[in-house]
Amino acid sequence: MAITPNEVRLCQALREEDNHKANVMKEIIRLENIRRDFTVGNEIVHALRGVSFTIQEGEFVTIMGASGSGKSTLLNILGCLDTPTSGEYYLDGVSVRTMGKNARATLRNRKIGFVFQNYNLLAKTTAIENVELPLMYNPSFSASARRQSAIQALEAVGLGDRMNHKSNQMSGGQMQRVAIARALVNNPALLLADEATGNLDTRTSFDILVLFQQLHAQGNTIIFVTHNPEIADYCSRNIVLKDGRVVSDTYNDNILSAAEALALLPVNDD
Ligand code: ADP
Ligand code: MG
């Protein structure tokens, strides 16, 4: 049977659309029925009871839930710091379960940037040295490339003028910026934040949220674990856990601007 020019055109259009989808939708995370049990004495605690979701490149996701709902357990698994009791986790297409400890550590170092509530910076160490740290484990970076990347990362978080300040000479907001620069320096596929604004006053929290929104706008994939429901308004998607299960997973069509919220805050808030 002959194919008409019109059908050829239609096939071409469909193929182009598929290519387009493949280009714009890159899956960074795939969780399939993740369970994590902890044995405590004679009892088994089911911290995660079958969690499944996928996250595409460029999403800014909050993970919320009451204390004990499994947020930290999930974050540890996403960050390759812990392995599930059962289920599959694919990070950027790689099955984490099948990897050995060393391979997992390398994957973590190359693919994931962590931002913690307590900054986790080395004290008495300059901003630039703290940011260079993740690159020390990467043999493809020379000393000068390391320095150059650290400078760029610090400039990207607005600390170009604080490179040689030591951690203990900085405010909480500045320390968190250093920590974010350190998380970004490897150009990771995924940025994981655990209560990253939990120790900061309201103004500084919004300041850091502005920075996360800028990173999101530049295409970074971010997962932000928090118990503060307000933060979901500034992100593109919100996943809620309860008793180790996902009970809600919603996309936000009306992402608020953290910069606008910051401008409306009273200046003497702290
Ligand atoms: P969240 O971060 O949401 O507060 P967690 O992930 O820390 O929740 O904890 C989920 C559940 O798993 C809780 O009941 C907690 O007590 C339990 N749990 C977490 N880590 C461990 C562990 N290492 N050993 C035993 N139980 C744990
Ligand atoms: Mg926790």
Task: Give the pLDDT of residue 19.
Answer: 55
What pTM does this model have?
0.86
In a domain, 79, yes or no: yes
Does ligand 1 come within 6 angstroms of the Cβ of 45? Answer: yes
Task: Give the pLDDT of residue 138.
Answer: 85
CATH number at residue 163: 3.40.50.300
Using DSSP, state whether 267 is helix, strand or coil.
coil
Q: Do residues 113 and 183 make contact, with C-beta atoms less than 8 angstroms apart? A: yes
Q: What single-letter amino acid sits at 241?
A: L
In a domain, 65, yes or no: yes
Does ligand 1 come within 6 angstroms of the Cβ of 226? Answer: no
Does ligand 1 come within 6 angstroms of the Cβ of 40? Answer: yes
Q: Do residues 63 and 259 make contact, with C-beta atoms less than 8 angstroms apart? A: no
Average predicted confidence (pLDDT) for the chain? 91
Task: Give the pLDDT of residue 243.
Answer: 97
CA of 75 to the centre of ligand 2 (A): 9
Tens-place pLDDT, residues 74-101:
999 999 999 999 999 999 899 999 888 8
Look up residue 166 and give its DSSP letter. Answer: B
Does ligand 1 come within 6 angstroms of the Cβ of 268? Answer: no
In a domain, 5, yes or no: no
In a domain, 42, yes or no: no
Closest residue by Cα to residue 262 from 211, 192, 196: 211
In a domain, 233, yes or no: yes
In a domain, 257, yes or no: yes
Task: Give the pLDDT of residue 227.
Answer: 87
In a domain, 108, yes or no: no
Task: Give the pLDDT of residue 1.
Answer: 60
The residues, any chain, with a CB within 8 Å of residue 239's CB and separated by 6 or more, are: 53, 61, 62, 63, 64, 246, 248, 249
In a domain, 173, yes or no: yes
How many domains does the structure of the chain reveal? Answer: 1
Tens-place pLDDT, residues 218-250:
999 999 999 889 999 999 999 999 999 999 999
Task: Give the pLDDT of residue 14.
Answer: 67
Residues of the chain with pLDDT under 70: 1-2, 13-24, 268-270
* Bridge partners, 250 (sequence order): 238
Task: Give the pLDDT of residue 17.
Answer: 63
Instruction: Domain of residue 255: give its range.
Output: 57-83+114-264
Q: Quick one: CA dihedral 20, 23, 25, 31, positive or negative?
A: positive
